[in-house]
Amino acid sequence: MSKIDIRYPDDTRKSFEKGLAAGEILASWKKDAVKDAVAARLNDRLIDLSSPVTENGTIDAVNVNTPEGVGVLRHSISHVMAEAVQELFPNVKVTIGPSIEDGFYYDFDYESTFTPEDLKKIEERMAEIAAKDAPFTRREVSREEAVELFKKKGEPYKVELINDLPADVKTVSLYTQGDFTDLCRGPHIPATGKIKAFKLLNVAGAYWRGDEHNKMLQRIYGTGFATPKEMAEYFVFIEEAKRRDHRRLGKELDLFQINEEVGPGLIIWHPKGAMLRTIIEDWERKEHFKRGYDIVLGPQILRDHMWIRSGHMDHYKESMYFTEVEKEGYGIKPMNCLSHMMIYKSKIRSYRDLPLRYFELGTVHRHEKTGVLHGLTRVRQFTQDDAHILCTPEQLNSEIVAIADFVKYAMGIFGFEYEVELSTRPSNSIGSDRDWEMATAALEESLKGNRMVYDINEGDGAFYGPKIDFKLKDALKRKWQCATIQCDFALPERFDLHYIGADGEKHRPVMLHRVILGSIERFIGVLIEHYAGAFPVWLAPVQAILVTVTDSQIPYGEEVYRKLLDIGVRVEKDFKNEKLGHKIREAQLQKIPYMLVIGDKEVASGTISPRQRDGKNLGAMTVDALVDLIRGKCSRYE
RNA sequence: GCCGAUGUAGCUCAGCUGGUAGAGCAGCUGAUUCGUAAUCAGCAGGUCUGGGGUUCGAAUCCCCACAUCGGCUCCA
């Protein structure tokens, strides 16, 4: 037997007989190294604790309290769920079951449907399997052997998966626990006894291999944790997230409604929501002027031939609404770019004019499929903080960098963290290969030049060009695209845009489509959840509310009210015949930043006593002092 | 669009196996005039999402539509 040399994370080294199990190698390093371990990492590869180690390298334990470790645990729980499901429902066909953020799922093909009672039964069966402490065992077989095995078991999906593996894959690995064997890369926990806390959450439809042309399977979602305590904490988080849900807060704070009678995906902004939106839009206009944008406005409907020329008719028709005016077909705009290009085309442009930056708070309509609508974040009519920048190819990079800076600044203002993705050419696209390469390279170089961290999203670009997407997360960690920068060589070509260069010749400009907040509706949705409805003073639709202790202070209260309104403070009054505690509570539930208490003392001294939303009492102060306080909190945003 | 669940007063929700609808909060009226998260009493409020059907009788059972919720696909 030959020897292997092993290095541990603390740089101690040992040598072992080749083929010793990873778990044993770890155990001989530190006594408790495998106590919380669910797998091992050998040279950056995850393996089972029971896997024989046959090569030199660095080894470490993967503990269940790490993100990777809990992923292994959840993946193993999904196998246990599949075992339980097959025992309870023998004609179910298994497909795939990975771990995901916060849990796991497994997709099954089953002619009937799983009910909540079924989930309960499955859960009980899983607990029994866990109690058995059955070991997970791995074996490698040839792909032919695996195909035979799954054919015999009557598992066509598994057979399809194996058959679709690349030709150079000669063997596959199988994992067995109890009587259940699954095609799986692994690794897995040593035995089902490691499963201490799990819960099945819900059933949902999911297409086989994520393709809507394929059969719809039934996906069971669940979650699992190292300990019941961690799982309890997770459910507390879920409850908190539900309290932050913008659809709930939108109702409670009286910001907006979506009315069935009016139509799905259409937002009706109530006074407070409209105020919030106005504040954001005013801020945006100002920020755009600072950065050299021109404000423009285009019509809501444009003749069909415009959409034919742009390619929307070929590539976007099913998402558009159409209408007819005097027998002439019109398309309701789903994007703002066409009008902006017509502005560009309205006269001859010189290279000296570029870049031109046209900004519009443009309202667009998109016919979203019914199942995708979601509060403010996925709607059928929305307003974009849209701009189109027409520039020379040489100016592209600095313009993209400037936009990325703008995004960074804006997200800083609202306190958002975000992720960046570069989306490349989709299958259904217009434009030449060369233009796509140039456009993609321009975006990528700007990201790299700015040392931004980003992921690549293959084939997810717009039909006219690649894009950089900036994604924000909502309270339930769902990601929403807000800002985006799209590089477009195709539309300037289609609309024959040009400028006169220094050489006196015509040249083609490049167009950048970009939004900073994206859809204002969506952004506000995410913003509501981000602040849990407790908006900072500069954004709060109501900044302060006057509350009287008794009716006798009403005349003074009215005086203060008029003064604050006049100064421009967004103030309300609550002079109802209720006890102070009642009014404080109502203002608190409305998350108003300042409650201005007026009792006899305040009337006598010509003051108000502000109580902050956080419960802190600021004591009596003059109205002027309060105004200074509020203005101080808003100054950064003016 | 697809899969599943849900749809009762302005809001949150009860309403068992079919026997003609109930609470809390909000609203209105009155009493009370009170110092930092709910004062008391009374009143009013519903074609039980809509449309068909089964039945002597439907909020309850069946079918269809619409909407919402959770996913899938798609997407700002």
* Across all strands, nucleotide nearest A599 (CA–C1'): B35
Look-up of token digits 């993946």:
A75
A419 pLDDT band, cuts 50/70/90, is very high
**What is the CB neighbour count within 10 angstroms for residue A636?**
9
Q: Is the peptide bond before A187 cis (omega within 30 degrees of 0)?
A: yes
Q: Among A194, A219, A207, A212, which Cα is nearest to A104's?
A: A219
Cβ of residue A519 near strand B, that is under 7 Å? yes
Of A74, A272, A288, A366, which residue is the catalytic one?
A366
Contacts of A625 (CB under 8 A, 6+ apart): none
Of A188, A349, A378, A513, which residue is the catalytic one?
A513
Which helix H or strand E contains A606, and what residues bound it? none
Are A130 and A80 contacting, i.e. CB atoms less than 8 angstroms apart?
yes
The encoded tokens of residue A103 equal 């849990």
Residue range A166-193: average pLDDT?
91
**What is the per-residue pLDDT for A311?**
93
**What is the CB neighbour count within 10 angstroms for residue A51?**
19
* Across all strands, nucleotide nearest A202 (CA–C1'): B70
Q: Is the predicted pLDDT of residue A32 greater than 70, yes or no?
A: yes
Cβ of residue A102 near strand B, that is under 7 Å? no
A518 pLDDT band, cuts 50/70/90, is very high
Q: How far apart are CA A255 and CA A276, in angstroms?
A: 8
In the 578-617 segment of chain A, residues within 7 Å (Cβ) of strand B are 578-582, 584-585, 588-589, 595, 597, 599-602, 609, 611, 615, 617
Distance measured from the CA of protein residue A268 to the C1' of nucleotide B66, in angstroms: 19
- Residue A209's Cβ-count burial label (10 Å; 0-12, 13-18, 19+) is middle
Cβ of residue A549 near strand B, that is under 7 Å? yes
Q: Is the predicted pLDDT of residue A12 greater than 90, yes or no?
A: no
Secondary structure letter of residue A283 according to DSSP = H
The pairing of strands A3-7 and A57-63 is parallel
Cβ of residue A117 near strand B, that is under 7 Å? no
pLDDT digits (tens, 9 = 90+) for A623-633: 999 999 999 99
Q: Is the predicted pLDDT of residue A470 greater than 90, yes or no?
A: yes
Q: What 3-state class would DSSP assign to A177?
A: strand
The encoded tokens of residue A519 equal 């859809």
pTM for this prediction: 0.93
Q: How far apart are CA A34 and CA A28, in angstroms?
A: 10
Edge-to-edge strand order for the sheet containing A419-423? Answer: A294-295, A356-365, A381-391, A510-519, A479-488, A467-473, A419-423, A455-457
Q: Among A61, A337, A282, which Cα is nearest to A190's?
A: A61
pLDDT digits (tens, 9 = 90+) for A265-317: 999 999 999 999 999 999 999 999 999 999 999 999 999 999 999 999 999 99
A420 pLDDT band, cuts 50/70/90, is very high
The encoded tokens of residue A465 equal 């060009």
**What is the per-residue pLDDT for A1?**
61
Rounded to a whole number, what is the largest CA-CA distance in chain A? 97
Residue range A130-138: average pLDDT?
93
Which residue type, as a one-letter code, is found at position A387?
Answer: A
Alpha helices by DSSP H, A17-170: 22-27, 67-88, 116-132, 143-153, 156-163
**Mind giving me the DSSP string for A477-535?**
--EEEEEEEEEESHHHHHTT--EE-TTSSEEPPEEEEEEEEEEHHHHHHHHHHHTTT--
User: Which bases of chain B come closer than 7 Å to a protein CB?
Assistant: 1-5, 11-12, 31-39, 66-76
Length in residues, chain A: 638
Of A384, A395, A543, A553, which residue is the catalytic one?
A384
Alpha helices by DSSP H, A154-184: 156-163
Q: How far apart are CA A460 and CA A35, in angstroms?
A: 43
Q: How far apart are CA A589 and CA A251, in angstroms?
A: 12
Which helix H or strand E contains A345, and what residues bound it? helix A337-345
Rounded (10°) CA dihedral A325, A330, A334, A340: -100
Q: Bridge-partner residues for A328, per DSSP?
A: A325
Residue range A380-390: average pLDDT?
97
Q: Among A507, A154, A495, which Cα is nearest to A305's?
A: A495
**What is the per-residue pLDDT for A31?**
78
Q: Among A261, A253, A451, A285, which Cα is nearest to A359's?
A: A285
Q: Among A56, A64, A1, which Cα is nearest to A25's?
A: A56
Residue range A119-127: average pLDDT?
92
**What is the per-residue pLDDT for A594?**
97
Q: How far apart are CA A201 and CA A106, in angstroms?
A: 12
Distance measured from the CA of protein residue A548 to the C1' of nucleotide B12, in angstroms: 29
Q: Is the predicted pLDDT of residue A615 greater than 80, yes or no?
A: yes
Q: Backbone phi, then psi, for A464, in 5-degree steps?
A: -100, -5
Prediction ipTM score? 0.94
- Residue A75's Cβ-count burial label (10 Å; 0-12, 13-18, 19+) is buried
More confident residue, A237 or A520: A520
Distance measured from the CA of protein residue A545 to the C1' of nucleotide B75, in angstroms: 40
Mean pLDDT of chain A: 93
Can you point out the beta strands (E) in A189-232?
197-207, 216-225
Task: Give CA A198 to chain center in angstroms.
Answer: 25
Q: What percent of chain A has pLDDT over 90?
A: 76
Q: How far apart are CA A239 and CA A195, in angstroms?
A: 24
Q: Is the predicted pLDDT of residue A550 greater than 90, yes or no?
A: yes
Q: Among A364, A371, A385, A261, which Cα is nearest to A321's?
A: A364
Which residue type, as a one-letter code, is found at position A457?
Answer: N
**What is the per-residue pLDDT for A2?**
82
Q: How far apart are CA A223 and CA A187, in angstroms?
A: 18
